[in-house]
Amino acid sequence: MDLKLKGKVAVVTGGSVGIGLAVARKFAEEGMNVAIMARGAERATEEAKKIVDDYGVKAIGVACDVSKAQEIDSAVKTIMDTFGGVDVLVNNAGTGSEETVMEASDEKWQYYWDLHVMAAIRMSRALIPSMKERKGGVIIQTASICAKQPLWYEPIYNTTKAALVMFSKCLSNEVIKDNIRVVTVSPGLVLTPDWWKTAGILSEKEGITPKEYLDNIAKENAPIQRFASPEEIAEFYAFIASEKASYSVGSNYSLDGGWLRVID
């Protein structure tokens, strides 16, 4: 299927690892030029170079901590100076948390609010004018199954991802008149480096291998009985970013192998 993405420009935050990197590489495979935003400049630049080598498109790595407004401003200027405009924005930067509501500090709540919600708001506001100039665009937010089905050990993550879904719905209603579509993707179990790191720590306590630990997690939670690969998830992002999904506006898609326990 020709998604007709060739020559377009995409920005992916949290784009140097996991889902973000898989999405950036899939976009490049479809012929898109990409900007990878990540806190680590060296890794972002390295992955961008691999994309250029592998797919022959234009790609750059941009160092940016999207929880900080001033760094977003600088990063967006670099992207606009390089590409002249943007067609697709993927607000993907984020990470899990671990705390209780009663014990988590205001500072921790604020950090994750800035990382998961304000970063998406600021990036969207910064790049929507370019999309308007191009007569349309797509914004894809990476939320989580936790926005609807919270995990007990990360109330801040659950709360901020739920807020991200609502922000996306509100924004979608506001900008569809400009031919800008906003959608949300809510993954479940995706085998990212973070999961391998967690498995390495917790499996040792249980006296099993990291793979056995992850297999147990999948069997306990996902009817499909396995994790998704980041590349599987990226296929969906490419479709949603394309004109083939032109009637998808304001929706939240659960890619969770059946983990969500309710009809959605």
DSSP three-state, residue 180: strand
Cβ-based neighbour number of residue 35 at 10 Å: 28
Q: For residues 162 and 154, give the distance between their C-alpha atoms in angstroms, rounded to a whole number.
A: 12
Token couple for 197: 């790191």
Is 129 in a helix, a strand, or coil? helix
d(CA 13, CA 22): 12
Largest CA distance in the chain: 57
230, containing H or E segment: helix 230-241
Distances (CA, A) of 143 to 94, 113, 163, 190: 9, 13, 9, 13
Tell me if residue 157 is catalytic.
Answer: yes
**In terms of C-beta density within 10 A (0-12 exposed, 13-18 middle, 19 or more buried), how is residue 144 classed?**
buried
Phi, psi torsion values for 11, nearest 5 degrees: -120, 130
Q: Residue 84's CB: how many other CB atoms inside 10 A?
A: 11
Q: Is 105 exposed, middle or buried (0-12, 13-18, 19+ CB in 10 A)?
A: exposed
Instruction: Name the active-site residue from 157, 213, 237, 247.
Output: 157
Q: In 3D, which of 128, 220, 140 has the Cα closest to residue 187?
A: 140
* Residues identified as active-site: 157
